[in-house]
Structure 1
Amino acid sequence: MEPTLKISVKASPLGTPISSDSANACLSPRPIETIPHSVYESAAKHIRSQLSNSSLPSVALLCGKGLQGISEKLEGKITEIPYAEIPGFALSTSVKTSTGRLVFGEISGTSVACIVGRCHFYEGYSMKQITFPIRVLALVGVRTLLVTTPVSGIAAGLDLGDIVVVKDHISLPTLAGLNPLIGPNFEKLGPRMPSMYNAYTFSLRKLAFLAFLEDEVLQKKQFRMREAVYCYTTGPSSETRAECLALRALGAEVVGSSTVPEVLVAHHAGLSVLCLGLVTNVAAQGAEPSAEEAARAAMAGTKLATPKQSALAMASEDDDILARKASVKKGSQRPSDLHRLIGLILERL
Structure 2
Amino acid sequence: MSELTAQITAAGEYIRKHWQDAPVAGIILGSGLGNLAQDIENRIEISYSDIPHFPVSTVEGHSGKLILGHMQGKPVVAMAGRFHFYEGFSMQQVTFPVRVMKALGIHTLFISNAAGGMNPAFNVGDLMVIRDHINLQPEHPLRGRNEDALGPRFPDMSEPYAKTLIEAAYKIAATNKISLHTGVYVGVQGPTFETRAEYKYMHIIGGDAVGMSTVPEVIVAAHAGLKVFAMSVITDIGIREEENVITHDEVLAAAKAAEPKLTLIFSELIRQL
Q: Using structure 2 for the length normalisation, give the TM-score.
A: 0.93
- Which structure 1 residue ranges, 5 or more long, are not aligned? 1-22, 25-34, 287-313
How far 1:332 moved relative to its partner?
6.5
Which residue number in structure 2 is paired with residue 64 of structure 1?
30
> Structure 1's 256 and 97: CA in aligned 2 closer, same or farther, altered over 3 A?
closer
Which residue number in structure 2 is paired with residue 275 of structure 1?
230
- Please tell me the residue identity of whatever aligns with 2:10: S
Quote the Cα distance in structure 2 between the aligned partners of 1:202 and 1:283: 28
- Please tell me the residue identity of whatever aligns with 2:150: L
Which residue number in structure 2 is paired with residue 91 of structure 1?
56
Quote the Cα distance in structure 1 between the aligned partners of 2:114 and 2:256: 13
Whether contact under 8 Å (1:161, 1:332) holds in the other structure is no
Q: Does 2:39 correspond to 1:73? A: yes
Quote the Cα distance in structure 2 between the aligned partners of 1:106 and 1:276: 21
Q: Does 2:198 correspond to 1:243? A: yes
Which residue number in structure 1 is paired with residue 87 of structure 2?
123
Quote the Cα distance in structure 2 between the aligned partners of 1:113 and 1:97: 16
Q: Secondary structure at the match of 1:91?
A: coil
Greater percentage in helix: 2
- Which structure 2 residue ranges, 5 or more long, are not aligned? none
Aligned counterpart in structure 1 of residue 152 of structure 2, from 162, 168, 191 = 191
Quote the Cα distance in structure 1 between the aligned partners of 2:83 and 2:240: 31
> Structure 1's 46 and 330: CA in aligned 2 closer, same or farther, altered over 3 A?
same
Greater percentage in strand: 2
After superposing on structure 2, the runs of 4+ consecutive aligned residues of structure 1 that deviate more than 6 Å are none
> Structure 1's 330 and 283: CA in aligned 2 closer, same or farther, altered over 3 A?
closer
Whether contact under 8 Å (2:62, 2:82) holds in the other structure is no
Whether contact under 8 Å (1:329, 1:335) holds in the other structure is no
Percent identity, aligned pairs only? 33
Q: Deviations over 1:74-111 (max 9, x none)?
A: 11x2111111121110011224773x121011111111
Aligned counterpart in structure 1 of residue 167 of structure 2, from 206, 212, 218 = 206
Q: Secondary structure at the match of 2:89?
A: coil
Which residue number in structure 1 is paired with residue 265 of structure 2?
341
Q: Secondary structure at the match of 1:36?
A: helix
Which residue number in structure 2 is paired with residue 132 of structure 1?
96
Q: Deviations over 1:121-162 (max 9, x none)?
A: 111111000100000110111110000111100111110111
> Structure 1's 197 and 224: CA in aligned 2 closer, same or farther, altered over 3 A?
same
How far 1:49 moved relative to its partner?
2.2
How far 1:329 moved relative to its partner?
3.7
Q: Deviations over 1:261-286 (max 9, x none)?
A: 01110111000000011000111423
Quote the Cα distance in structure 1 between the aligned partners of 2:256 and 2:186: 25
Q: Which has the higher contact order (CA 8 A, sep 6+)?
A: 2
RMSD value, Cα:
1.9
Whether contact under 8 Å (2:34, 2:62) holds in the other structure is no
Whether contact under 8 Å (2:107, 2:227) holds in the other structure is yes
Q: Secondary structure at the match of 1:211?
A: helix
Which residue number in structure 2 is paired with residue 46 of structure 1?
14
Which residue number in structure 2 is paired with residue 107 of structure 1?
71
Quote the Cα distance in structure 2 between the aligned partners of 1:342 and 1:331: 15
Aligned counterpart in structure 1 of residue 141 of structure 2, from 167, 176, 180 = 180
Quote the Cα distance in structure 2 between the aligned partners of 1:333 and 1:275: 18
How far 1:37 moved relative to its partner?
2.0
Quote the Cα distance in structure 2 between the aligned partners of 1:263 and 1:189: 14
Q: Using structure 1 for the length normalisation, give the TM-score.
A: 0.74
Q: Secondary structure at the match of 1:191?
A: coil
Whether contact under 8 Å (2:61, 2:252) holds in the other structure is no
Quote the Cα distance in structure 2 between the aligned partners of 1:266 and 1:235: 22
Quote the Cα distance in structure 2 between the aligned partners of 1:285 and 1:188: 47
> Structure 1's 332 and 65: CA in aligned 2 closer, same or farther, altered over 3 A?
closer
Q: Secondary structure at the match of 1:47?
A: helix
Q: Secondary structure at the match of 2:43?
A: strand
Quote the Cα distance in structure 1 between the aligned partners of 2:182 and 2:220: 22
Specify the structure having the higher radius of gyration (Cα): 1
Aligned residues: 272
Which residue number in structure 1 is paired with residue 115 of structure 2?
151
